[in-house]
Chains A and B, each alone.
Chain A
Amino acid sequence: MIKIENLEKVYKTEEIETTALNGINLHVKEGEFVSIMGPSGCGKSTLLNVMGLLDKPESGSYQFGGTELLKLNDRERSNFRKRNMGFVFQNFNLIDELTVFENIELPLIYNKVAAAERKRLVNEIIERMNIVNRSGHFPQQLSGGQQQRVAVARALVTKPRLVLADEPTGNLDSSHGNEVMELLCELNEAGTTIVMVTHSSHDASFSNRIINLKDGHVISEKINKGRTEELI
């Protein structure tokens, strides 16, 4: 589904140039759960941002289901993103002024889904995420784990083909972290493609394939046999 070739991204400041991505090649199949690992500053978050169309690389190609995404203009990128992608962040990034229900509803509004349909979809996912009794609460009233469930619910409510997760358990304790990882696995099993950036090999063990980055290069790729076999 995703075909990334020769991707390059350079950050420039007045004194130095930092090459964040240095000719990355990456293929992701539909239904895969890929983890990207590597030391700090290896370019993994940059790669995720480029995949999520939040950042633009200098050169290379990024095809999604046969469409070349790097040629799109801002508006088209925004449209593509909201139809096909969902995001889960380390710090949840919920809007403090909106309730759980409204936070989850927001992407549907941007996708111009009718009100009744929105209500149905949001209620459905709230039930699935087990946060029904929290739907009227504001983010600050929830625990970290609950906030991340809401963030996941928000990422999923539009039924995206790709979910991009940036250290989703980074701000959570291990039991809440596991809950979120299990949730992502369930999603993946239901057919959603997931790309996740993580530091934790424990988290990475939930995925099908682990890609190791260093200095903007892919230095190794590992098929997670246990998980893949489980899948099969």
Chain B
Amino acid sequence: MFRLNLKIALRNLWKNKVASLINMTGLAIGLAACLMLLVYVLYEWNFDKHSKNAGSTYVTLTNIRDDSGKVMFTFDGTTTALGPLIKAGIPEVKYLCRTSYGSNSLIANKANSFKKQGRFAEPDFLKIFDFQFISGDPRTAMKQPKSVVLTESTARVLFGTADVLNKTVRYQDREDLSVTGVIRDLPDNSSNKFDFLMPWSFYELVDPGLKNLNWDNYSFITLVTLHPGADPAAVNKKLDVLIKKNRNITGPLQPYFFFPLSKMHLYGKFEEGKSVGGAIAQIWLYIALAGGILLIACVNFMNMATARSEKRAREVGIKKTIGATRSSLILQFLLESLILAFVSILLAIALVEAFLPAMNNLLGIRIDITYFNGYIWLGILAVLLFTGLAAGGYPAFYLSSFNPVQTLKRKVGRGSFSVRLRQILIVGQFCFTVLLIISTLIIYRQLQYIKNRPLGADTNALVEMPQEGQLYDKFELFKTNLLNSGAVSSVCQTSVSLVHHSSNFNGLEWPGITPQERSILFNQVATTYDFIQTNGLKLIMGRDFSKQYASDSAAVLVSAAAVKTMKLKDPLGKVLKVGGQQGTIIGVFQDYVWDSPYKSNTPLIVNFNKGYGGNITIKLKADRGLKEGMETVRRIARQINPAYPVEMNFVDNAYEEMMQKERKLGILSNLFGGLAIFISCLGLYGLVAYSAEQRTREFGVRKVLGASVLNLMQLLSVSFIKMIAIAIMIAVPVALYLMNTWLQNFEYHTGISWWIIALASAGTLVIAMLTLSFQAYKSAVANPADALKYE
């Protein structure tokens, strides 16, 4: 019997090829989209959750206060003195390590040199993260100052093999380090990534100033792992008391606190010292998107299956008259839709396999299908059962309950229950589609808005390269050679990149300062000559640093925002003081965008300091050809600084990268929004096709009686159009509310114009109408004789 039922099922599928294809591919595409999103969500979700201590590992966060004592911002930068104090004062801390933020540094095996992410850390780092050692001993790997732990891929790049224990590598062309360990590569979704790891004791050799514990320089991360069973809240309280007592701080605000490392990635947005979410909002968005798409696909599947099943009422009747029991019929229908769902799922997995690399490429991440863990498989099974049973359930239980006489007489042509349910499902489906279209448009507009926001700097043909090796001492030579080459119009040296300033400081004094204002946070950039000219900043008043004035070594430039903050009426010539040093304001420039294009920045002070470089900014002559220009720069850099590979980046690209997260959101919402619309229309098409087929006879009769093609098309389309109109009416307010909430996340944001709503609504209607009319036209122009002779 199973075999025969299977035959009936397969032949039924084959007979309705188009419908079956729509049904299966719709579900497969929906499911594949959902799985891809979920894989991505899992990737984000599992950030920093790999090590076995992940649950009890915390990062120490610093609350920076403004003049009124309120938290201005919270970040993971801590000072060198904090770690030892915690270690001595809080026994619940099992492991503690200070580490540097990673930086791209030179590492070489003889002539084989590369720029790789290098980090310094105290030995507990290896206990906190329990990396997998391929060779070497985690207990001793960081004991000697001049040692280094490489990741497997770093070892391979340098030596061509991972078997490199006790070999020597050269760091920054200065020091030879002995390889004391090789570890497996870190998962992509780790925040504390590195290519090679060096002991803190070596850091103190490189930068002897670190030995003096200080409370001013927030350039280090302090990680702790608590003893099992320790209460994080109580430990945080202890930390508060400890710091306040030691640093003579009063007031309710906690200056430092421990925050779970595994939450940093998703919940890393802080307001007034409290986590208020962060990337998690997008994760929820993706989950909703995944669920919605799956729902649309399942709805399609169910709609088509139930619609088609009504046609099979006769089959049920016949089978019942010749002896089928109800249970055998229920089983048949359930089995049939389960098989269909199963095939779709196989197809979906194949699709995921095929398109995952493309998605990785698009999002700039690396996920593979091994991220499919037990939960995902369980989820897939649940989807299979849910879709299969829901789609097969209606015919299985409803049709099989009928008296065979009724089904044979076709009295169950259309169950009113199933029609109403189907209408509700279609409305729901299109609600979601309209919601997606509106959201996609608004996200796109917001991205454009931010992109088009004036940067305040001229980034055209502007490139940056790290200042390292000989480029420190021979910077002037480098600059002269570049300018003489004719390929470059301007060059400057700065302490930080134009795009990322993170040198916050407070304690600046200016004429007329109030005592509270001493704690206002400023940002600083150290530079030499040609800062304004090279970066294309706009001077509001005064001038750039110039060699004509020897006194410029004690001069500063300030941003317009800084002038406003300091409330200076006539800023030029005013003297600023910080930490015993002082500078005279010689110029004021318009604010430009750094760190985040979404919000306004802290006031900026640019001071003159020859010894504080790190970054070289070069303005190429665009008319000479960028490629030739870069080649020239590269040649000159190699002559002066042969030990280092030359790395140049366009500042434009760096700005683009700042919008990474939103760009991802844009890509995903565009892509999956489009898919959702496609699947919805696929379902609509299938249903109209089905309903047209059901009414073939009616149409034939109407045509014989004189109905026009347009009449018939209307007849077929009106009810669907009505449903879509209802969906639009429901979806628009919901979309408005959600997107407004989303836009509030940005200090600079676009508004929602009425035309977006109009466009989305009209677009949905037009797409739906096209889908409908195609099928409606086809059946309306059919020869009425064909329709009537049927049966």
Residues of chain A whose beta carbon lies under 8 Å from any beta carbon of chain B: 49, 52, 54-55, 74-75, 78-79, 81-82, 86-87, 89, 91, 93-98, 102, 105-107, 109-111, 154
Cross-chain contact B7 with A98 (CB below 8 angstroms): yes
Cross-chain contact A109 with B321 (CB below 8 angstroms): no
Closest to B409 in A: A45
Residues of chain B contacted by A91 (CB below 8 angstroms): 791
B565 at interface, CB cutoff 8 A: no
A29 to B47, CA, bound (A): 83
Cross-chain contact B4 with A54 (CB below 8 angstroms): no
Closest to A93 in B: B318
B104 at interface, CB cutoff 8 A: no
Cross-chain contact B4 with A107 (CB below 8 angstroms): no
Cross-chain contact A110 with B323 (CB below 8 angstroms): yes
Listed stretches B8-16, B229-237, B477-485, B547-555; interface member: B8-16
Listed stretches B127-135, B160-168, B400-408, B719-727; interface member: B400-408
User: Assuming the A-B contacts A95-B315, A98-B7, A109-B4, are A82 and B323 also in contact, with contact meaning beta carbons closer than 8 angstroms in the complex?
Assistant: yes
Cross-chain contact A110 with B4 (CB below 8 angstroms): no
Cross-chain contact A110 with B322 (CB below 8 angstroms): yes
Closest to A80 in B: B323
B325 at interface, CB cutoff 8 A: yes
B314 at interface, CB cutoff 8 A: yes
Closest to A138 in B: B11
B1 at interface, CB cutoff 8 A: yes
Cross-chain contact B315 with A109 (CB below 8 angstroms): no
**Contact with B322, one of A55, A74, A75, A87 (Cβ below 8 angstroms):** A87
Cross-chain contact A97 with B404 (CB below 8 angstroms): no
Cross-chain contact B11 with A54 (CB below 8 angstroms): no
Cross-chain contact B8 with A82 (CB below 8 angstroms): no
27 CB-based A-B contacts, threshold 8 Å: A49-B405, A54-B320, A55-B405, A75-B325, A78-B323, A78-B325, A81-B321, A87-B321, A93-B314, A93-B318, A94-B318, A95-B8, A95-B315, A96-B15, A97-B7, A97-B12, A97-B15, A102-B4, A102-B7, A106-B319, A107-B323, A109-B1, A110-B323, A110-B324, A110-B328, A111-B323, A154-B322
Cross-chain contact A52 with B11 (CB below 8 angstroms): no
A171 to B53, CA, bound (A): 80
A226 to B331, CA, bound (A): 51
B317 at interface, CB cutoff 8 A: yes
A74 to B325, CA, bound (A): 9
A105 to B318, CA, bound (A): 13
Interface size class of B (residues with CB under 8 A): 20 to 34
**Contact with B408, one of A74, A93, A95, A110 (Cβ below 8 angstroms):** A93
Closest CB pairs A-B (n = 6): A82-B323, A110-B323, A97-B11, A107-B322, A97-B8, A54-B405
Residues of chain A contacted by B324 (CB below 8 angstroms): 78, 110
Given contacts A86-B322, A95-B315, A102-B4, 14 further A-B contacts (CB under 8 A): A54-B403, A74-B326, A78-B320, A78-B323, A79-B323, A89-B408, A97-B7, A97-B15, A98-B7, A98-B11, A107-B323, A109-B1, A110-B1, A110-B323
Residues of chain A contacted by B4 (CB below 8 angstroms): 98, 102, 105-106, 109
User: Assuming the A-B contacts A54-B404, A109-B1, are A98 and B8 also in contact, with contact meaning beta carbons closer than 8 angstroms in the complex?
Assistant: yes
Query: At the interface, is chain B mostly helix, strand, loop or mixed?
Result: helix
Cross-chain contact B318 with A95 (CB below 8 angstroms): yes
Cross-chain contact B322 with A54 (CB below 8 angstroms): no
Cross-chain contact A93 with B7 (CB below 8 angstroms): no
User: Assuming the A-B contacts A97-B8, A97-B12, are A81 and B317 also in contact, with contact meaning beta carbons closer than 8 angstroms in the complex?
Assistant: no
Closest to A55 in B: B405
Closest to A46 in B: B405
Closest to B9 in A: A97
A93 to B791, CA, bound (A): 12
A95 to B320, CA, bound (A): 12
Cross-chain contact B323 with A81 (CB below 8 angstroms): yes
Residues of chain B contacted by A98 (CB below 8 angstroms): 4, 7-8, 11
Cross-chain contact B404 with A106 (CB below 8 angstroms): no
Cross-chain contact B317 with A93 (CB below 8 angstroms): yes
A86 to B319, CA, bound (A): 12
Task: Produce 1/0 per residue, B572-604, CB < 8 A to A.
Answer: 000000000000000000000000000000000
A74 to B400, CA, bound (A): 12
Task: List B1-42 residues whose CB lies under 8 Å from chain A.
Answer: 1, 4, 7-8, 11-12, 15
Tell me which of B15, B320, B405 has the highest count of chain A C-beta atoms within 10 A of its own C-beta. Answer: B405
Closest to B321 in A: A87
Residues of chain B contacted by A55 (CB below 8 angstroms): 403, 405
Task: List B471-505 residues whose CB lies under 8 Å from chain A.
Answer: none
Distance in Å: Cβ of A90 to nearest Cβ of chain B:
10
Task: Produce 1/0 per residue, B322-342, CB < 8 A to A.
Answer: 111110100000000000000
A54 to B317, CA, bound (A): 10
Residues of chain A contacted by B408 (CB below 8 angstroms): 89, 93
Distance in Å: Cβ of A151 to nearest Cβ of chain B:
10
Residues of chain B contacted by A81 (CB below 8 angstroms): 321, 323
Task: List B673-716 residues whose CB lies under 8 Å from chain A.
Answer: none
Residues of chain A contacted by B326 (CB below 8 angstroms): 74
Distance in Å: Cβ of A111 to nearest Cβ of chain B:
6
A78 to B320, CA, bound (A): 8
Cross-chain contact B15 with A52 (CB below 8 angstroms): no
Closest to B317 in A: A93
Cross-chain contact B315 with A54 (CB below 8 angstroms): no
Tell me which of B4, B8, B319, B323 has the highest count of chain A C-beta atoms within 10 A of its own C-beta. Answer: B323
A94 to B321, CA, bound (A): 12
Distance in Å: Cβ of A137 to nearest Cβ of chain B:
13
A98 to B15, CA, bound (A): 12
Residues of chain A contacted by B15 (CB below 8 angstroms): 96-97
